Amino acid sequence: MKKQWWKESVVYQIYPRSFMDGNGDGIGDIPGILSKLDYLQNLGVDVIWLSPVYESPNDDNGYDISDYRSILGEFGTIDDWKSLLEGLHDRGMKLIMDLVVNHSSDEHAWFVESRKSKDNPYRDYYIWREGKGGKEPNDWGSFFSGSAWQRDEATGEYFLHLFSKKQPDLNWENEALRQEIYDMMTWWLDLGIDGFRMDVINLISKVPELPNAGNGDGKYVFGGEYFMNGPRIHEYLQEMNRKVLSKYDIMTVGEAIGVTPEEASLYVGEDRGELNMVFHFELMDVDSGPGGKWDVVPWKLSDLKRIIGKWQRSLHGKGWNSLYLNNHDQPRMVSRFGDDGRYRIESAKMLATLLHTLQGTPYVYQGEELGMVNVKFDGVSEYKDIETLNMYEEYAAAGRDHSEIMNSIYVKGRDNARTPMQWNGSANAGFTTGTPWIRVNPSYMDINAERTLADENSVFHYYRKLIRLRKENEIAVYGDYRPLLENDNRVFAYVRSLGDDRLVVVLNFFGAPAEVVFDELIAYGNCELYIGNYEDAPRNELEQRIELRPYEARVYKLTK
Ligand code: ISL
Ligand code: CA
C-alpha cells in the first residue's frame, strides 16, 4: 500500500467542552487545551481532531454551527485558536477540524435569510417543501426523535432537519451553496490546518423526490435509503476534492452512517479522488436489537471478528481503514466491550491492543487512554445530550418504563463520553475550578491522569508504548491481515504479514482464562514479545498451546 503520513499517524479526539476549562466557567475551552499540549505530546499522538469550536447556539454542543468562520466565545478567540495550531505544530503534531456541512444551525445567517420568504436568494440553500394535507411533506423521522420536518410560520412551508429542528439540512443541489462551503474550507486550510473530519458526510445528497419511507401508518420512520450514499454523493465529494482537498497535503475522514465495505471503497478508493478514510458504524451496531440503538442486546465476539475481518480484507490494497471503538457519540469502550470493574485495566489495554494492531489509522477518544468508564446519573435531568433527552421524552410519552429507559441511557447514552476529562483527584477532577456544565464521573478519585501518569503499568503508559511500537514497526501499519482461530468464541487472534515478518496478535476477550492451541504454527528464527498486558508472559517463545489469563493480550513479532 502507498505510504502516507496519515496512515502512520495516531489521532486523538478532543471534545472541547469536556476536555479542560481554562477560566473556571465550567466549560472546557481552547486555553484549557493549550495547558495540556505537553500531556498530548507525552502520549505520543500525531494528530488532534478537534470537535466543533465554531459559533453555535449549542443545541447539539457545537454540531449546530451559526458561523463557520468564527470561534465560539465560550471556547476562546481566534487568537487562542491560532496559538493552539502553532502549539501543536511546534510539538510536531497536526490539527484537523470538524466540518459540519450536512446542516447548519437555524441561527446561521443563511437560514435566517432562507426562512424569510419563498423568493429570498438564500431560500434554496435549505430543503423546503409544502406540507401534504396539513402534515409533513413525508414520513421521515429525525435521528433525534419525532419528524424530520419543521413547519415554519413565515411561509407555511416545512424545512428538512435530519437532526434537531435547530439543525436544518443544507441543500447540496444548490451550486452556490457548495461553492460557499468550498471557500470556507479553503479559508481554514489557508490558516494552516491539516485536514477535516467530516460530520455525517454521506448524508449530503438526498433523493430529490424525498419519497415516503414507511407503509403509510402515520409513524415516522428512518428514511436512510433516500439519504445515505445518495445519488450525487460521489459527484459532490469529487468536486470538493478537485476544488479544495487535492490542493493541500492533508488528511480527511468522513463519518459515514450505514456504509458497507463495498460502498466505503467508493469513498476511500485511492484512485477515486474523494476521502482518505471513513468511520463506519457496523461495530457500533453490534449491541443494537431490532428496535435500534436504544434496544440494547448483548454483543457477540463472533460479530466483532466477522465485521473487523471483513473491513480489513475488503479495503486491503484499495483504501484505508479508520479504527475506533468509541468517540463523543458512543459509550466508553471499556464499559461496552471490556470489564469496567475488576478487569478494567487489563481489558482497557486488551482493547487498545486490538485498535493499534490492525491495518488502519487508530483514533483515541479523550479519556480512553486513562481507561475512563461510563457514568450513571440518578435522574434524567442530570443528562444534557439532546438525543438522550428527546428519546426519553418520546419513550416516556409512549408509556415505557422509566427504569428501562434509564438503563438504555446507562448503556448507550452519548453523555457517557461527555463527562469531564479526569485530570486528578481534586474537586471536579481538576477539570474546572467552577461548576462543570455536566457532572463529573464519580470514578475520578480512582481513574485520573495524575495517577495513571505516575504508575508505569497504567493504561496511559500502555498506550504510549503501543503508539511508539507502531511507529517503529511498519508491519503494524501496512501489514496485511489474516484471521486465526476463527471459530473460537473467547479469543480474537490474527496475524499481520509484511514481507517475511509476522505479527501474531492473541486477545482474550473475557474475564475467564482461555486456552488456545494454534493449529498452524509458523516456525520463525526469532520470536519477540512486541507487547502484552501481563508482566510475565514468555518473551521469546510463541508456544503452540497458550494459556491466556483474563483479558490477556499478547502480540509476538516473528522474524526469519
Ligand atoms: O449514533 C448516532 C445515531 O443515533 C448519533 O449519536 C449521531 O447523531 C450520529 O452518529 C451522527 O453523528 C454526528 O452528527 C450529529 C452530531 O450530533 C454528532 O455528535 C456527530 O458526531 C449531528 O451533527
Ligand atoms: Ca471555560
Q: How many residues does the chain have?
A: 560
State the amino acid at position 18 in one-letter form: S
The full set of domain ranges for the chain reads 480-559
Tell whether the model's pLDDT for residue 550 goes beyond 70. Answer: yes
Distance CA 310, CA 483 (A): 10
Q: Count Cα neighbours of 553 within 13 Å in the Cβ-side half-sphere.
A: 23
Helix (H) or strand (E) holding 408: helix 402-412
Distance from residue 243's CA to the centre of ligand 2 (Å)? 37
Catalytic residue among 29, 74, 80, 255: 255
Nearest CA to ligand 1 atom 11: 200
Local structure of residue 316 (DSSP, 8 states): T
From ligand 1's centre to the CA of 206, what distance in Å? 18
**Ligand 1 binding pocket includes 163 (Cβ within 6 Å):** yes
Percent of all residues in the chain with a pLDDT value above 90, rounded to a whole number: 97
493-528 burial: b if 16+ Cβ within 10 Å, else e = bbbbbeeebbbbbbbbbbeeebebebeeeeebeebe
- Reduced to 3 states (helix: H, G, I; strand: E, B; else coil), residue 273 is coil
- Counting from 1 in the atom list of ligand 1, the atom nearest the Cα of 60 is 17
293 touches ligand 1 (CB under 6 Å): yes
Q: What average pLDDT does the segment 122-150 reach? A: 98
Give CA–CA dist 231/279, Å, rounded.
20
Q: State pTM to two decimals.
A: 0.98
> To the nearest whole number, what is the mean pLDDT of the chain?
97
Ligand 1 contact via 200 beta carbon (within 6 Å)? yes
- pLDDT band for position 521 (cuts 50, 70, 90): low
Which run of H or E residues covers position 315? helix 301-315
Residue with cell 496478535: 505
Helix (H) or strand (E) holding 344: helix 344-356
**Contact in structure between 421 and 18 (CB atoms under 8 Å):** yes
pLDDT at 131 over 70: yes
Based on DSSP, count helices (H) and strands (E) in the chain, helices before strands: 15, 22
Which of ligand 1's atoms lies nearest the C-alpha of 414? 6
- DSSP state, residue 174: -
46 C-beta closer than 6 A to ligand 1: no
> pLDDT per residue over 162-212, tens digit each?
999 999 999 999 999 999 999 999 999 999 999 999 999 999 999 999 999
Residue 335: CB atoms within 10 Å: 22
Q: Which CATH number fits domain 480-559: 2.40.30.170, 2.30.40.10, 3.40.710.10, 2.60.40.1180?
A: 2.60.40.1180
Tell me how crowded residue 272 is: count the other CB atoms within 10 A of its CB.
Answer: 16
Q: Atom 6 in ligand 1: which residue has the minimum CA distance? A: 329
Would you say residue 522 has pLDDT above 70? no
Residue 240: predicted pLDDT: 99
- Could you tell me if the CB of 100 is within 6 A of ligand 1? yes
Residue of 13, 17, 63 to mutate, ligand 1, most atoms within 8 A of C-beta: 63
> Is residue 204 within 8 Å of residue 170, measured between CB atoms?
yes
Task: Please say whether the beta carbons of 526 and 559 come within 8 A.
Answer: yes
Substitution site in 65, 198, 200 for ligand 1 pocket (most atoms within 8 Å of beta carbon): 200
Alpha-carbon span 13 to 368, nearest angstrom: 10
Answer whether 329 contacts ligand 1 (Cβ < 6 A).
yes
Q: Is 68 in the pocket of ligand 1 (CB under 6 A)?
A: no
Which tens digit of pLDDT belongs to each residue from 373-400? 999 999 999 999 999 999 999 999 999 9
Of 437, 527, 405, the closest CA to residue 61 belongs to: 437
For the CA of 387, the closest atom of ligand 1 is: 6
Cα-only R_g, the chain: 24
**537 is written with which cell numbers?**
508472559
| Lookup: cell for 211 | 419519497
Taking only the tens place, the pLDDT of each residue in 54-110 is 999 999 999 999 999 999 999 999 999 999 999 999 999 999 999 999 999 999 999
Instruction: Give catalytic status of residue 415 as yes or no.
Output: no
Integer Cα distance of 233 and 235 in angstroms: 5
Largest CA distance in the chain: 77
- Distance of CA 256 to CAs 201, 219, 415, 521, Å? 6, 25, 21, 38
Buried b (16+ CB within 10 A) or exposed e, 57-89: ebbbbbbbbbbbeebbebbbeeebbebbbebbe
Which residue is closest in CA terms to ligand 1's atom 23?
63
Dist. CA 439 → ligand 2 center (Å): 15
Q: Is the pLDDT of residue 523 over 90?
A: no
Is 255 known to be catalytic? Answer: yes
**pLDDT tens digits, one per residue of 290-331:** 999 999 999 999 999 999 999 999 999 999 999 999 999 999
Closest CA to 294 of 441, 147, 144: 144
Of residues 55, 68, 59, the one with CA closest to residue 166 = 59
- Sort 184 into a burial class: Cβ within 10 Å, 0-12 / 13-18 / 19+: middle
Q: Whose CA is nearest to atom 8 of ligand 1?
A: 143
User: Sorting pLDDT into bands at 50, 70 and 90, what band is 560?
Assistant: confident
What pLDDT, on a 0 to 100 scale, did the predictor assign at position 544?
A: 86
- Condensed to tens digits (0 to 9), the pLDDT of residues 31-63 reads 999 999 999 999 999 999 999 999 999 999 999
Regarding the beta carbon of 199 and ligand 1, being less than 6 Å apart is answered yes
Q: What is the mean pLDDT of residues 502-526?
A: 89
Classify residue 232 by burial, with Cβ atoms within 10 Å: 0-12, 13-18, 19+.
middle
Q: Write out the three cell numbers for 55.
A: 459559533
Cell 505516575, residue? 454
Beta bridge partners of 150: 159
Ligand at shortest distance from the CA of 163: 1
pLDDT of residue 524: 76
Q: Of the ranges 10-14, 93-97, 443-447, 537-541, which one carries the lowest mean pLDDT score?
A: 537-541
Phi then psi for 464, rounded to 5 degrees? -55, -45
Q: Which long-range contacts (CB under 8 A, 24 or more apart) does 518-526 make?
A: 518/484, 518/485, 518/542, 518/544, 518/545, 518/546, 520/484, 522/495, 522/558, 524/558, 524/559, 524/560, 525/559, 525/560, 526/558, 526/559, 526/560
User: Residue 419 and residue 429: Cα distance in Å, rounded?
Assistant: 10
Q: Which of 98, 199, 239, 329 is catalytic?
A: 199
pLDDT score, position 186: 99
